[in-house]
Chains A and B, each alone.
Chain A
Amino acid sequence: MTYFPEEVVEHIFDFLSSHRDHNAVSTVCKAWYRVERLSRRSVFVGNCYAVRPERVVARFPGVRSLSVKGKPHFADFNLVPDDWGGFALPWIEAFARGSPGLEELRLKRMVVSDECLELLARFFPNFKVLVLISCEGFSTDGLAAIATHCRVLRELDLQENEVEDRGPRWLSCFPDSCTSLVSLNFACLKGEVNAGALERLVARCPNIRTLRLNCAVSVDSLSKILACAPHLVDLGTGSFTIDHPAEAYHRLINNFTKYKSLKSLSGFWDASPRCLPAVYPICGNLTGLNLSYAPAIQGADLIKLIRLCLKLQRLWVLDCIGDKGLAVVASTCKELQELRVFPSDVCGAGTAAVTEEGLVAISSGCPKLNSLLYFCHQMTNAALVTVAKNCPYFTRFRLCILDPGKPDPVTNQPLDEGFGAIVQSCKDLRRLSLSGLLTDQVFLYIGMYAERLEMLSIAFAGDSDKGMVYVLNGCKNLRKLEIRDSPFGDAALLEDVGKYETMRSLWMSSCYVTLKGCKTLAAKMPRLNVEVINERDESNEMEENPSDLRIVEKMYVYRTVAGPRNDAPDFVWML
């Protein structure tokens, strides 16, 4: 192949769709490396500290689409202190200088300032797509800059970010000439929105297909918007409650009846059960439904709705659906591929909402199920064995038993056998989260059978270092390992230090790893960054020479070619 002209090789590389394939071909020989780097249009950086932004720009001058991830996953659950890092500014500055042809930017768990957004707006004339997921540090003023200056903006997708509200004017900043929007998602904004500006914006963008509104958009406004956006495929409603049903509601039902193209529904902020029938007319077409932000809608109303959703492939609900509701899902939604059941009661014990029964029902009714996130009050080994038999195609299996360390309530045994059955049966399993009472045995099974496993989340599990070692030795494709509150210490950490260079990252918090262990790891592996995060206030313990025998509260290890980072706050020690 090296005798082909470069244009031919480049053309062939165009057919490669995955980042991994691109990465692989670039390592074959110098010629291919050269062709690949010049022709690469899309780059994915899984850890923003693994490589310097300038290096990415230098190597891939033709990049049009960049995706970068910042904080470790456990940051979603408040385990990473706020100022830890993950700043987007260096990336945007580097690209503004070296590659301003960038058209698409996707950032996850990063700190994005208004200054970043202003740079994006002003220095990237072809900027089309901005997706921010679980980011923070910006305000609606930054959004105003994007709206004002990005003349060919196609997508503005804000998912679960923490955005400071500086008023509704940002939406009015889209000029009248902006007609290119295809996707607009501002569901995570808490503040008021200029309804008139929103309606006019939607009306002048004929290609709009995804629209997710925030809780400040009224039902009235929704009706008007639906009337002028007949081709919407993905809708996130605004507020879904009204005081006097008749007028606005009647209109809403009328609008929904006309909607043939709507496939995905979400939002339902403040939804009251009385309003739910408005969407009955389109349920038969839905492939995606997210009711996880509607805690006022209880089991019976959910069931009435679900019975109409015969084509559903993706369902996100709260556990008030109950085992009975899940049985209805099982008998109705034969096309179901992804199910997420979230806990509705986060403050106390509460009444048991879903148990192993619901999951077993789903597994027997929905054979296409491949992705699960299930918060429940209890689980049995027998149920997991049944689920494993019924659904061998799981790629993502995340089970969270709300009471940590809870055994099988029927047999009082740990759940090792149940999870063992899952990893043995589901050969394509890429992501797994464990919970319940678990011994080292479950890790033995995972090491033995979970060959394709890429991400493993462990909480309150295991007996000894053996558990962690089984996983490190066995899972050849492991990329991300995150552990909290488990009895793994230095011996496990240091068992196979080379392993961490084959992985993206390791997180351990509230385990038994000591400062000495971390220092040893850092000394042996210069191409790993070993970060120790100490939140405890500087008291007597934290003098110049803290005892190496001290257990570290939080540790984050990741491979990098960028060396130690220079933007770490005081409480993060780079070893």
Chain B
Amino acid sequence: MGGRKDGSPSSSIDSSSHPALSTASSLSQPRRDLSTDLRLGLSLSTSSLQDGSSSARDDWPPIKPLLRSTLTEKGHQIQRQSATFFVKVYMEGIPIGRKLDLFALDGYDGLIKTLRRMFRASIMRPDIAQMPTNKDHVLTYEDKEGDWMMVGDVPWEYDFLPPLLILLPSILNSICH
């Protein structure tokens, strides 16, 4: 406990006035002076605990070693990591696609808005009833079973979208709500 050495009570009270040497019962007379010294002695140690500039103590706060090591390791990593997930989006008929980071978007709203801007196309949404026109597109993906599905039905949080999305002209489907 090297950090505590300065704060230990024996350094702030010399042995001649040490409470333990008093022969009278220590309970009968409150020793105000000494208790101030005691408090000082202790506060030195507590202030050494608060010293943020020194290296972290391994005995305070009282947490177990596994948690302590997990937090000190991961604490450094959290700042650096910001996860990204880039998907490619193609519009049918156009060979050059676009890329966007799904993690940077705020739900399906953000996705549709961004794609509208990127492709200058109007994109249908499954939750909004609208009559498909010539200009509308529908955003689709191929799921695990090989079926082509419209984006927007599964909750956004489920984060299941594959890395490839295709914008198809909606006239090709007969989706009616």
Contacts and interface: CB of A to CB of B under 8 A. Distances in A.
Given A277-B157, A404-B49, A485-B45, A296 B74 contact: yes
Interface string B130-156: 000000000000001000000000010
Contacts of A280: 157-158
Interface string B27-52: 10011000100110111011001101
A400 B49 CA distance: 14
B161 interface: yes
A295 B159 contact: no
A302 B50 CA distance: 29
B81 A296 contact: yes
A362 B67 CA distance: 24
A403 B66 contact: no
B15 A549 contact: yes
A551 B64 CA distance: 28
Contacts of A293: 67, 70
Interface stretch (A16-24, A416-424, A459-467): A459-467
Main secondary structure of the interface of A (DSSP, over half): loop
Nearest to A535: B1
Given A246-B163, A304-B157, A347-B75, A160 B15 contact: no
Contact of A253 (B39, B42, B160): B160
B144 A250 contact: yes
A570 interface: no
Contact of A400 (B62, B66, B144): B62
Interface stretch (A147-155, A325-333, A508-516): A508-516
Contact residues on B (Cβ < 8 Å of other chain), bracket: 35 or more
Interface residues of A, number: 66
Contacts of B81: 272, 296
Contacts, number: 167
Interface string A59-89: 0000000000000000011110000000000
Interface stretch (B17-25, B92-100, B112-120, B168-176): B17-25
A134 B21 CA distance: 40
Interface string A340-364: 0011111111000000000000000
B64 A295 contact: no
A372 interface: no
A402 B144 CA distance: 50
B65 A162 contact: yes
A228 interface: no
A408 interface: no
Contacts of A269: 70
B56 A347 contact: yes
A407 interface: no
Contacts of A250: 144, 160
A245 B27 contact: no
A304 B25 CA distance: 59
Contacts of B129: none
A551 B66 contact: no
A464 B15 contact: no
Contacts of A549: 15, 18, 20-21
B27 A469 contact: yes
Interface string B6-22: 00111000010011111
B64 A76 contact: yes
Contacts of B71: 295, 343-346
B78 interface: yes
Interface in A464-497: 464-466, 469, 485-487, 489-492
B4 interface: yes
Interface in B60-110: 60-68, 70-72, 74-75, 77-78, 81, 83, 85, 103
Nearest to A514: B20
Given A244-B85, A486-B42, A491-B25, 20 more contacts: A160-B64, A162-B65, A188-B66, A245-B85, A269-B70, A274-B85, A295-B70, A295-B75, A296-B74, A296-B78, A347-B52, A347-B72, A348-B52, A400-B62, A404-B49, A404-B60, A487-B41, A489-B19, A491-B20, A512-B18
8 contacts: A246-B160, A344-B75, A346-B71, A346-B75, A348-B52, A404-B60, A491-B22, A491-B25
Interface of B: 1, 4, 8-10, 15, 18-22, 25-27, 30-31, 35, 38-39, 41-43, 45-46, 49-50, 52, 56, 58-68, 70-72, 74-75, 77-78, 81, 83, 85, 103, 144, 155, 157-163
3 A-B pairs closest in CB distance: A491-B26, A348-B52, A277-B157
